[in-house]
Amino acid sequence: MLYLRDLGPTEVGAFGVTRPDDLMLVDEIQLVHQRCTETFVAFDDVAVAEHFETQADLGRRPEQCGRIWIHTHPGNSPHPSRVDVQTFHRVFGQCDWAVMFIIARGGQTYAELTWRYGSPASIQLGVDVDYSQLFMGSDHDLWEHEYHTRVETHPQFDPQLMDYEDDWLRVSPLGTDTDRESAGYRRPRELPIHREPTEPAPF
């Protein structure tokens, strides 16, 4: 994500993919087609649906591939903007749990976990890199190709982009599924407080 962050002047967003036995350990990043400005990201609805179908074909459950929203900030502040907060709650608010993770240009990070079990609540998480995990290695050519084919950059106040963003904000690509009900994969809709964490989340 650091490499993608530095390829352009705008934000970039992705889904974090985790292992089934450790849902806080992100070991893969999945870009989807998106339009971006310096202050927000708009995912394409069809691309999101295709992402979930592909992950389902790989045998992954929704909580492995659709609960962690990662995006970059082109400035040095990792704190979520008003648009970030609105997007997170409107798109992921029906999930049993979700994480918003932000990494800024200067390397600063922010992570927030929300959940709906019992009384809805949220906590900020620590962030770390687990260097003990296997890593297949860097592939800058592939990463740059994905960036240029899936990330469209736009002016800050592009009215066409604002219209484009509405559907993704208004209708969650995750539908209303909950982890308790997802013994089998539930496809997206026809688509288109406080506890201290015991350990930092290793992503």
Provide the token pair at 18. Answer: 């985790």
* Contact partners, residue 157, CB within 8 Å, separation at least 6: none
Averaged over successive runs of 10 residues, the pLDDT of the chain (203 residues) comes to 89 95 94 92 93 96 95 94 91 92 94 86 90 80 91 72 45 43 38 42 41
Q: Pick the closest to residue 48 from 58, 37, 40, 56 (CA basis).
A: 56
Q: Which two tokens stand for residue 66?
A: 């659709």
Query: Can you give the pLDDT at residue 3?
Result: 86
Query: In three state form, how does the secondary structure of 16-45 look?
Result: EEEECCEEEEEEEEECCCEEECCCCEEECH
Render pLDDT for 137-191 as a digit per residue (tens, 0 to 9).
788 899 899 999 999 988 765 555 444 444 444 444 444 444 444 333 334 333 3
* Domains, the chain: 2-178 (3.40.140)
